[in-house]
Amino acid sequence: MASRYDPSVEEQKWQAAWARADIFRTPAAADSQGREKAYILEMFPYPSGKLHMGHVRNYAMGDTVARHRRAKGQVVLHPMGWDAFGLPAENAAFERGVHPREWTYQNIDAMRGQFKRLGLSLDWSREFATCDPEYYAAQQRIFIELWKHDLAYRKSSRVNWDPVEMTVLANEQVVDGKGWRSGAPVEQRELVQWFLKITAYADDLLDGLKSLERWPDKVRTMQANWIGRSEGALIWWDIVEAPDSIRQAGDVDGPNHARDPIEVYTTRPDTLFGASFIALAPDHPLTRSIAGHRPDVAAFMQDAASIGTSEEAIEKAPKLGVDLGIRVRHPFDDTITLPVWSANFVLSGYGTGAIFGCPAHDQRDLDFARKYDLPVRPVVLPDGAEADNFEIAAEAYTGAGRIFNSGFLDDMTIEAAKSAAIARLSAQDQGEGKVNYRLRDWGVSRQRYWGCPIPAIHCPACGTIPVPDAELPVTLPDDVTFDRPGNPLEHHPTWKYRTCPECQGEARRETDTLDTFIDSSWYFARFAGPSETAPVDVTEAAFWLPVDQYVGGVEHAVLHLLYSRFFARAMSDCGLLTITGDEPFAGLFTQGMVTHETYKSATGKWLAPTDVEMRGGVLIEIASGAPAIRGQIEKMSKSKRNVVDCDAILSSYGADVARWFALSDSPPERDVEWTQAGVDGAARFAQRVWALADTLAEAATLAEAGGLRGGGEGVADTQHPSIALRRTSHRAAAAIDDSISGFRFNTGIATLYEWVGALKKAEAEAGPEWHAARREGIAMLVTCLVPFMPHLAEAAWARIGGAGLISTAPWPVIDPSLVTQDTVTLPVQVNGKRRGEVVVARDAIVSDVEAAALAEVGVAAFIGDQPVKKIIVVPGRIVNIVV
């Protein structure tokens, strides 16, 4: 009677065995020189307290890679920690009166337990949480170093203010004009904030993308677009005429500001002779200055500000503007003056917040010019068009051509004209070539409690100075209250007051904390080089970094993944880190989401999967017995109630089945739909493997087991039919090896299914040769199963009498002579259609193959007496006969 595999017993047993033997501890870098290293990392989780299926898939992938690398003889670092600062802890404090620290560490304990149930091959000895004082102390030291190196600074600026979270957001954290977490429309506020100078690395971050060959193109493109490099020119337009009002406008921006030239950025200096107006952003300083005296301009500003930032709003908003009454002189022709408008389509945040309008060659400018009846003067002539009758109608011309109507630029190509224009502007001191970026410096101040305190002191006499090293870390006070909105550190009665370390006068602590994205911008380095004396042990980290394979969600394409690349460079320039190539993540894999069907009741209420069942082919809501509606397949989310509970799956099916299914059904970069049928299939597979091991259990002795690892001994000679099974095994092991290396877990799993089927079929065969071939195959299979179903692999290994832990075993040795065949089956086509197949020797000469193909019964019948025009033989592949 065959036994059943019971994951609830076996999984705990083997997890305990791994822990006892401590087999996943990272080898010391010093002992690993000369061996290939592999740093495998999955994006560390936020400790929400509950594991979800997305986690299972993410960490299963990383673990499969890590276990495979170990089996391939590499030294592996595979750590885990917690991205533990952040707003949910404060919300919990506000709602339930529990302290954020307590809430967070309780969640970590709960989640660590769930992670351990998954049987991941993690080195828990390197675990940390970013809210550990040791971690944020190190982060404060990094911050002070950045500050000393001029990479952190304070400035007053208009910032994104999330009115719900009552804190500032970075540009990267604003999505469609709304806070990335709260979803509330973001407001603009003028505040003094800390910034990190990520723009100093704009070019470097862009160039570095080229070297990241093992990153998805999509992410590289997104980062390149985010950095948004463009080449062009700054042009200074002298004001020749201005209304009296702005002469009195010294009250706004300084005495002579109103007479300063207007600075414009353009990528098309070649079209300068086509300029017919200047347009300023609605909140450009000059617009604001004039609005103080012109009610119509003030009204225009108001209107422009009230238009939403959503896509539809922008698309529908008509181009609107107002003439500011200012006139400027054309830099290349004294006799031309242009009007200065303020226009709602000019962005204050890009370039200089001012443009010159060239309606003939820019659609937006053309729309604007048509509306306000401004001149349209074409200056680029398409090839083949005639200068005399080339006109712009409703569409601006943005293509290639020759410059005309443009004085000294006439007849040049666009590229030549750009250079010539810039040269002339520079010579006249009216402008200069300029590379512009969309990327802005990273605003990192957050008006929050549960984050890393910014180690700065504000002294009225000495200014803003760093907290002295001996006083680090600046720790968070425990006695805080969350009974009102805003920053508890600011509300604290005493915490912020202290004396200045330099003049001993009264001073104040900085009460803002750092954006939690900083916490995750260097954690990978801390894992690689833990240290008690420095943020990172530079030598140890230099051995392990860069991360060889990083696995996580694509949602961090321009947040975490860009910030980390910046930190790697900035820390390196501060002497805190050394990474060959400067890139923190050499390989990146962005996995797809876990989805599930959604269900609704007849009344439109979302129903959980456990609330419905099929009865007689109809979906029924169990509670009411009424029919339910099957909805879209969507990402698992609480609001849609289509979440499958991890604990329930782990309890009834075990970690191996959950891991297996999460990797089996779809390519890892795509979404996978969680289905009950799929989970059942995975569970069936586990039992089949167990049944296979069972067939060897009776006969297994330790003496036999000694030979299990080598493979091949006692097996048949090459003439025996069992050789076919041996070929299947060796090929499968090679195929699975390739699948895991290439991140194609789904095809590796398909190979395992086939392999089990082949071994199963061979049970019908008797004799010592077949027994040996099966024994070899099952031992190899179990070894190859380790990265996917590690617990089952251990149990099966023990069942067949294997010695030691299979998790520490090397990948099976593959006999190359069994992977290649001496005979091959070639399909034979006639005129490109398959009509039969022939078996020939692997190295058969072409004429023999041709003869065999023509002699094949089906082929011969099909050809009949038609003359053969040509025969194509692709050795080892195919034969095609043309008649």
- Measured from the CB atom, is 121 or 729 closer to RNA? 729
- Measured from the CB atom, is 461 or 860 closer to RNA? 860
Question: Per CB under 7 A, does 707 bind RNA?
Answer: no
Closest approach of Cβ 365 to RNA, in Å?
Answer: 8
Closest approach of Cβ 203 to RNA, in Å?
Answer: 16
Q: Where in 570-629 is the site for RNA (CB under 7 A)?
A: none
Question: Per CB under 7 A, does 498 bind RNA?
Answer: no
Closest approach of Cβ 293 to RNA, in Å?
Answer: 24
- Measured from the CB atom, is 484 or 870 closer to RNA? 870
- Do strands 833-841 and 823-830 pair parallel, antiparallel, or not at all (unpaired)? antiparallel
- Measured from the CB atom, is 337 or 675 closer to RNA? 675
Closest approach of Cβ 836 to RNA, in Å?
Answer: 9
Q: Which of 15, 26, 167, 266 binds RNA (CB under 7 A)?
A: 266
Which range, of 295-303, 334-342, 648-656, 667-675, touches RNA by CB under 7 A? Answer: 667-675
Which range, of 8-16, 20-28, 259-267, 446-454, touches RNA by CB under 7 A? Answer: 259-267
Closest approach of Cβ 664 to RNA, in Å?
Answer: 7
- Measured from the CB atom, is 605 or 834 closer to RNA? 834
- Measured from the CB atom, is 76 or 557 closer to RNA? 557
- Measured from the CB atom, is 114 or 739 closer to RNA? 739
Q: Which of 113, 183, 228, 627 binds RNA (CB under 7 A)?
A: 228
DSSP 121-158: --BGGG--BTTSHHHHHHHHHHHHHHHHTTSEEEEEEE
Token readout for 213 is 């060959």
Give the CA distances from residue 813 to residues 38, 207, 577, 714, 796, in Å, rounded to whole numbers and listed in that order: 21, 42, 39, 16, 19
With a CB cutoff of 8 Å and minimum separation 6, the contacts of 580 are 542, 545, 546
Question: Per CB under 7 A, does 557 bind RNA?
Answer: yes
Question: Per CB under 7 A, does 870 bind RNA?
Answer: yes
Amino acid residing at 396? A
Which range, of 330-338, 405-413, 526-534, 550-558, touches RNA by CB under 7 A? Answer: 550-558
Q: Where in 822-841 is the site for RNA (CB under 7 A)?
A: 825, 827, 829, 831-834, 837
User: What residue has token string 């969350």?
Assistant: 482
Closest approach of Cβ 178 to RNA, in Å?
Answer: 11
559 closest CA partner among 515, 524, 589: 515
User: What residue has token string 């079929």?
Assistant: 761
- Measured from the CB atom, is 128 or 589 closer to RNA? 589
Which range, of 420-428, 447-455, 602-610, 874-882, touches RNA by CB under 7 A? Answer: 874-882
The phi, psi pair for 476, rounded to 5°, reads -75, 135
CA separation for the pair 421, 233 (Å, rounded):
9
Q: Which of 468, 684, 803, 846 binds RNA (CB under 7 A)?
A: 684
Question: Per CB under 7 A, does 667 bind RNA?
Answer: yes
Question: Per CB under 7 A, does 821 bind RNA?
Answer: no
CA separation for the pair 446, 453 (Å, rounded):
10
**3-state SS, residue 288:** helix
CA 124, 125, 126, 131 torsion: positive or negative?
A: positive
Closest approach of Cβ 268 to RNA, in Å?
Answer: 5
DSSP 627-647: BEEEEEEEE--TTTT-PPPHH
Mask for 299-318, x = binds RNA (CB under 7 A): --------x---x--xx-x-
Q: Are 192 and 156 a contacting pair, CB within 8 Å?
A: yes
Q: Are 266 and 235 a contacting pair, CB within 8 Å?
A: yes
CA separation for the pair 661, 671 (Å, rounded):
13
CA separation for the pair 671, 674 (Å, rounded):
10
Mask for 434-453, x = binds RNA (CB under 7 A): --x-x---------------
Q: How many residues bind RNA (CB under 7 A)?
A: 82
Between the two ends of the chain, the Cα-to-Cα distance in Å is: 60
Question: Per CB under 7 A, does 678 bind RNA?
Answer: yes
- Do strands 612-615 and 618-621 pair parallel, antiparallel, or not at all (unpaired)? antiparallel
Mask for 418-437, x = binds RNA (CB under 7 A): ------------------x-
Q: Is the peptide bond before 79 cis (omega within 30 degrees of 0)?
A: no
DSSP 503: T
Rg of the Cα atoms in the chain: 35
Q: Where in 745-774 is the site for RNA (CB under 7 A)?
A: 746-747, 749-750, 753-754, 757, 760-761
Q: Where in 143-182 is the site for RNA (CB under 7 A)?
A: 175-176
